[in-house]
Amino acid sequence: MEDRIIYLLKKEQGYLSGEELSKTLGVSRQALWKHIQSLKELGFDITAVPHLGYRLISIPDRLYDFQVYQGLKTKDFGKRILYFNSLSSTMDMATQLALKEATEGTVVLAETQAKGRGRLGRIWYSPKYKGLYFSMILRPKIALDKASIITLLAAVGICEAIKEFCALDVQIKWPNDIMIHNKKLGGILTEIKAEVDEVNFMVIGVGLNINNDKRSLISQATSLKQEKGGELSRLGILQNILYKLEVNYSLFKNKGPLAVIDKWRQLSLTLGKRVKVYSHREHIEGEAVDVDSDGGLLIRLDSGLTQKVIAGDVMHCR
Amino acid sequence: MEDRIIYLLKKEQGYLSGEELSKTLGVSRQALWKHIQSLKELGFDITAVPHLGYRLISIPDRLYDFQVYQGLKTKDFGKRILYFNSLSSTMDMATQLALKEATEGTVVLAETQAKGRGRLGRIWYSPKYKGLYFSMILRPKIALDKASIITLLAAVGICEAIKEFCALDVQIKWPNDIMIHNKKLGGILTEIKAEVDEVNFMVIGVGLNINNDKRSLISQATSLKQEKGGELSRLGILQNILYKLEVNYSLFKNKGPLAVIDKWRQLSLTLGKRVKVYSHREHIEGEAVDVDSDGGLLIRLDSGLTQKVIAGDVMHCR
C-alpha cells in the first residue's frame, strides 16, 4: 500500500485529495491517514492541507523494499527484499534465509552493518546511508568447481550497472574488487553452501561506496561521490545492479561461462599487468595473462611456465 | 555426574552403598537419589535395596553423550556431543551450530532422524536405535578444491574402525559408500560452507546400518548385524569411528592428502573395476584406475584417454 501511495503522489506532483486517493486505493479515509502516518515515520515528507489533500514534498534517502520494487526491471532478482535499518551482517541473515529455503533472487539489505565482512573474514566498513550493502541468494545448478564464475559474473554486472548509470569507467581487479582510477570502490563476497557434488546455494554479498565523503575513506578507497563530484541515487544504482546481475546470470545459464568471461576480460584491470598473488600458502609473481573457464587466474611466470591461481590476493606491480 | 555414577556402579559390579557413593561423588544422599532417578528415566536399570545400596542391572542401548565420553580415546572429536532422541536432520543442526562458532569435533547425534538425508538430497532412512546417525563439525584450513579429500578421509576412518571393532572386511565405493560384500552398509555426506577462497567449515554426516533386521533393509543394503549374525554395540562402534576419524584427520593435516589417499586405495572397491559414472551432466564409462590428490576419480576410457570425475554416482559393471 505504501508503495502505491508514494507512486500516486509522485505522479501527481501536487496536491491529491484524500477522497480521491482513498477511492483509487480502495481504502477508507481513516486507513489512508494511517498509511500516510507510517510513511511520515519512514521519513517521507508529506503535507496535508484541508480541502487540498496530500502532497509529497520529499523522499528520504533510504532503500525501503517498496521503493526498490518500484521501477525494478528484473524478473526474479530483488523481487523479495528484506530491508533492515541496521544489521550485524547481511551475509549471515541471507545464509539463514537460504537454509530455510528462501528463493533465488531474495535480497537482504541493510543501511549499515555492525559486522560487515569482506573476503577471508576481513571487515567491510559500512557507514550508514552512504553505501550499498546487500546480499542476494542464488541457487545455480552447478558443480562446486564452477562456483568462482559466479563471482566474476557479479563483478561484471556491477561494473556494467555503474558504467551505465554513472557514466564512470569502472574496472575489475581479480577476483572481486570494483575499481576506479586504481582505487577500490567496492567488493564482492561469495559464500557457498555445497556438497562435494554440487552447489546447494550461494550468497553474493555486495559492498559499494557511494556517497561516502573523502574523510571517511582510506587512501586506497574511493566512492562514486568522490569520482563524480556529487551525490548519487543509491536507489537507482541498486535497481540497475540487480538488473545487470540478472542479465549476466541469465547469460551464464544460457551461454555458459565463456560468455561471462569474455565480458570480464574487457573489464579487467588485472590482465596484462605484472602481478604478485598471495594465495593459500604460496606467493607467486608474473604476468596475468588470462582467466580460465573456472574463473582461475593464469599467471605467466618468469620461467615461461604458466600457473593457475584459484584464489588469492592480487597486487598490481608498477 | 550421571557418567560418574554409571562408571562407579559398573566398576563395582554389585551393590554400592548410598553413603559411600555420595561421599565419593561429593554430593548429598538426596542429590544422589535425584541423579539415580534421572538415570532410571534414561533407561538405566538400577535397583536400590535398603542396607545394601544401589546396583546397576542393565544399561540401555542408547548413545547418551556421557556414555560416549566414557572411554573415548580422542583429543577433540566427540568431546562435545549434542544428543537427541529424535531430530529432523543432524546435518541441519550441526550446520546451525557451526554458523554459531561451534568448535571442531563437535558432534550432533540422533537416535532417529525424521528427514535424514544422503547425497544430492536423497533420503537416508534412520530407524530408531538401529544405526548410527551423526554429524561432526570440521574446520580444516584448506582451499575449496581440496574439500573432497575430507570425504575420502572419513570413509577410510569408518572402514578402519569397523574392521578393527567387528573384524569385517568393509570397503569403499567411490566416493563415499561403505560396503560389505557389494552391499551398502553406510554413507558419508560432506557439506561445505566456504568462500571461493577457502573452506569456512565442513559438516561430515555419517549414516551407518548397525542392528537393522533384514526386513527393514532394501536388497542392495545390509547392516553389521546381518553380516555378523548378531547385535553389536553401537556405542563401541561410535567411539572407534570417532577415534579413527581423528587419527586420519591428523594424518591428513600432518602428512598431506597422499597419506590418506594411499590408505583409501587399499580400501577401495572401485579401483580396477569397470565402471559407469553418472556425473553432473554426462555419463562416462571405463576402468577406474586411480584417485588423484583432489579426490577425483580417474577413469580410463575405451579410447585410451583418461578422464577425471570430481563427483558423481558410480555403478560397478560386472
Question: How many CB pairs (< 8 A) connect A and B?
Answer: 86
If you measure CA to CA, which chain A residue comes closest to B148? A196
Q: At what angle do helices B257-267 and B234-255 cross, to 10 degrees?
A: 130
Taking 80 as the threshold, does the pLDDT of residue A197 lie above it? no
Quote the minimal CA–CA distance from A257 to chain B in Å.
Answer: 15
pLDDT, tens only, A87-105 = 999 999 999 999 999 999 9
Q: What is the spatial distance between Cα B286 and Cα A142, in angstroms, rounded to a whole number?
A: 24
Interface probe with A: pick from B96, B174, B195, most Cβ of A within 10 Å: B195
Please check whether residue A135 touches B, CB under 8 A.
no
Whole-model pTM over 0.90: no
Q: What is the spatial distance between Cα A243 and Cα A260, in angstroms, rounded to a whole number?
A: 15
* pLDDT at residue A286 in the model: 94
Please check whether residue A312 touches B, CB under 8 A.
yes
- A82 and A115: one domain? yes
Interface probe with A: pick from B188, B197, B309, B310, most Cβ of A within 10 Å: B197
User: C-alpha cell of A116?
Assistant: 560487515
Query: Which is it for strands A131-138 and A199-209: parallel, antiparallel or unpaired?
Result: antiparallel
Q: What is the spatial distance between Cα A284 and Cα A244, in angstroms, rounded to a whole number?
A: 34
Cβ-nearest to B311 among A143, A189, A295: A143
If you measure CA to CA, which chain A residue comes closest to B201? A193
If you measure CA to CA, which chain B residue comes closest to A95? B99
Between chains, do A119 and B143 touch, taking CB under 8 Å as contact? no
Please check whether residue B280 touches A, CB under 8 A.
yes
* pLDDT at residue A138 in the model: 98
Q: What is the mean pLDDT of residues A189-195?
A: 94
CB B104 within 8 A of CB B97: no
User: Which residues on A lie below 8 Å from B154 (Cβ)?
Assistant: none
- B171 and B143: one domain? yes
Mean pLDDT of chain B: 92
Which stretch of DSSP H or E encloses residue A180?
Answer: strand A177-180
Quote the minimal CA–CA distance from A197 to chain B in Å.
Answer: 5
Residue A277, Cβ neighbours under 10 Å: how many?
Answer: 21
User: Which residues on A lie below 8 Å from B192 (Cβ)?
Assistant: 144, 192-196
Cα angle B7-B10-B12, degrees, rounded to a multiple of 5: 110
What CATH number does the domain containing A304 carry? 2.30.30.100
Of the pLDDT bands very low, low, confident and very high (cuts 50, 70, 90), residue A280 is low
Which residues are within 8 A (CB) of A31 and not within 5 positions of it... i.e. 6 or more apart?
A: A22
Please give the residue range of the domain that contains residue B280: 274-316
Please check whether residue A198 touches B, CB under 8 A.
yes
User: How buried is B254 (Cβ within 10 angstroms: 0-12 exposed, 13-18 middle, 19+ buried)?
Assistant: exposed
* pLDDT at residue A11 in the model: 85
Between chains, do B147 and A196 touch, taking CB under 8 Å as contact? yes
Quote the minimal CA–CA distance from B52 to chain A in Å.
Answer: 55
Interface probe with A: pick from B101, B145, B196, B281, most Cβ of A within 10 Å: B196
- B141 and B213: one domain? yes
Of the pLDDT bands very low, low, confident and very high (cuts 50, 70, 90), residue B91 is very high
Taking 90 as the threshold, does the pLDDT of residue B309 lie above it? no
User: What three-state secondary structure class fits A135?
Assistant: strand
Query: Among the three residues B18, B39, B58, which one is the final residue of a domain in this structure?
Result: B58
CB B271 within 8 A of CB B290: yes
* pLDDT at residue B318 in the model: 65
DSSP structural state of residue B53:
E
DSSP string, B132-197: EEEEEEE-----GGGTHHHHHHHHHHHHHHHHHHH----EEETTTEEEETTEEEEEEEEEEEEESS
Query: Among the three residues A58, A74, A105, which one is the final residue of a domain in this structure?
Result: A58
Between chains, do A191 and B200 touch, taking CB under 8 Å as contact? yes
Taking 90 as the threshold, does the pLDDT of residue A272 lie above it? yes
User: Which residues on B lie below 8 Å from A189 (Cβ)?
Assistant: 195
- A127 and A6: one domain? no
Between chains, do A197 and B151 touch, taking CB under 8 Å as contact? no
- B156 and B24: one domain? no
pLDDT, tens only, B123-163 = 888 999 999 999 999 999 998 888 889 999 999 999 999 99
- A250 and A149: one domain? yes
User: Which residues on A lie below 8 Å from B191 (Cβ)?
Assistant: 193-195, 200
Q: What is the mean pLDDT of residues A250-276?
A: 95
Between chains, do B193 and A191 touch, taking CB under 8 Å as contact? yes
Between chains, do B198 and A99 touch, taking CB under 8 Å as contact? no
What is the C-alpha radius of gyration for chain B, rounded to an integer number of angstroms? 22
* pLDDT at residue A51 in the model: 87
Q: What is the mean pLDDT of residues B174-202?
A: 92
- A217 and A97: one domain? yes
Taking 80 as the threshold, does the pLDDT of residue B193 lie above it? yes
CB B154 within 8 A of CB B210: no
Cα angle A136-B122-B240, degrees, rounded to a multiple of 5: 105
Mean pLDDT of chain A: 92
- B110 and B209: one domain? yes
- B69 and B167: one domain? yes
What CATH number does the domain containing A177 carry? 3.30.930.10
- A143 and A256: one domain? yes
pLDDT, tens only, B23-71 = 999 999 889 999 999 999 999 999 989 888 999 999 899 999 999 998 8
Interface probe with B: pick from A122, A188, A195, most Cβ of B within 10 Å: A195
Interface probe with B: pick from A196, A292, A297, A314, most Cβ of B within 10 Å: A196
Which residues are within 8 A (CB) of A83 and not within 5 positions of it... i.e. 6 or more apart?
A: A63, A64, A65, A109, A110
If you measure CA to CA, which chain B residue comes closest to A205? B195
ipTM: 0.79
Taking 70 as the threshold, does the pLDDT of residue A318 lie above it? no
User: C-alpha cell of B113?
Assistant: 532422524
Quote the minimal CA–CA distance from B294 to chain A in Å.
Answer: 11
pLDDT over 70 percentage in chain B: 99
pLDDT, tens only, A221-243 = 999 999 999 999 999 999 999 99
Please check whether residue B200 touches A, CB under 8 A.
yes
Which stretch of DSSP H or E encloses residue A124?
Answer: none
If you measure CA to CA, which chain A residue comes closest to B99? A92
CA-closest candidate to residue B206, choices B79, B310, B91: B91
- A180 and A118: one domain? yes
**Phi, psi (rounded to 5 degrees) for B159:** -60, -45
Taking 90 as the threshold, does the pLDDT of residue A164 lie above it? yes
* pLDDT at residue B43 in the model: 92
CA-closest candidate to residue A166, choices A278, A241, A114: A241
Q: For chain B, positions 211-270, list CB contacts with chain A under 8 A.
A: none
CB B208 within 8 A of CB B186: yes
Cβ-nearest to A280 among B143, B175, B190: B143
pLDDT, tens only, B235-287 = 999 999 999 999 999 999 999 999 999 999 999 999 999 999 987 667 899 99
Number of structural domains (chain A) is: 3
Of the pLDDT bands very low, low, confident and very high (cuts 50, 70, 90), residue B178 is very high
Which is more confident, A216 or B244?
Answer: B244
pLDDT over 70 percentage in chain A: 99
Q: What is the spatial distance between Cα B168 and Cα B70, in angstroms, rounded to a whole number?
A: 25
Which is more confident, A194 or B219?
Answer: A194
Name beta bridge partners: A268. Answer: A172
Q: What is the mean pLDDT of residues A55-77?
A: 93
Between chains, do B191 and A191 touch, taking CB under 8 Å as contact? no
Query: Among the three residues B37, B58, B79, which one is the final residue of a domain in this structure?
Result: B58
- A71 and A180: one domain? yes
* pLDDT at residue A196 in the model: 81
